[in-house]
């Protein structure tokens, strides 16, 4: 079942009625939950995730582009791993079962 979304068109000063599909409604709910989850993290935890993401993007880009990895990339990944480990209180048991 689709829900109606009322969207104000600021340029024209009129209200436009549009219908969202079930998929769009589900995605909106998922995105809302993700935003709430992200806001619930401390700034240090968000920074740890951002650092890890940036490191992964760099490393994977280098592997894809030149089929190699720099030692500096490995150092950044290691730093990101430790920051996540500390910010989220992860231990060896969380990695090695």
State whether 30 and 71 are in the same domain.
no
Answer whether residue 8 shows pLDDT above 50.
no
Q: Is this structure's pTM higher than 0.75?
A: no
* pLDDT-based confidence at residue 5 (cuts at 50, 70, 90): very low
Residues 47 and 88 in one domain: yes
* Tens-place pLDDT, residues 39-49: 999 999 999 99
The owner of tokens 């990101």 is: 80
Could you give the number of structural domains in the chain? Answer: 2
Confidence band of 11 (pLDDT split at 50, 70, 90): low
Burial class (CB in 10 A: 0-12, 13-18, 19+), 55: buried
Do 54 and 34 lie in a common domain? no
> Which residue in 21, 30, 18 sits closest to 2, CA to CA?
21
Cα four-point dihedral sign 51, 54, 57, 60 = negative
Instruction: Report the pLDDT value the prediction gives residue 93, as an integer from 0 to 100.
Output: 73
Domain with 16 in it: 4-40
> Is 7:16 a contact under the CB 8 Å cutoff?
yes
């Amino acid at each position: 079942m689709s829900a109606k979304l009322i969207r104000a068109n600021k340029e024209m000063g009129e209200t436009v009625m549009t219908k969202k599909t079930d998929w769009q409604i589900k995605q909106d709910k998922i995105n809302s939950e993700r935003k709430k989850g992200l806001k619930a993290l401390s700034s240090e935890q968000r920074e740890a995730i951002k650092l890890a993401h940036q490191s992964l993007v760099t490393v994977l880009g280098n592997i894809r582009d030149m089929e190699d990895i720099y030692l500096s990339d490995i150092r950044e990944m290691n730093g990101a791993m430790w920051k996540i480990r500390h910010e989220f209180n992860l231990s060896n048991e969380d990695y090695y079962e």
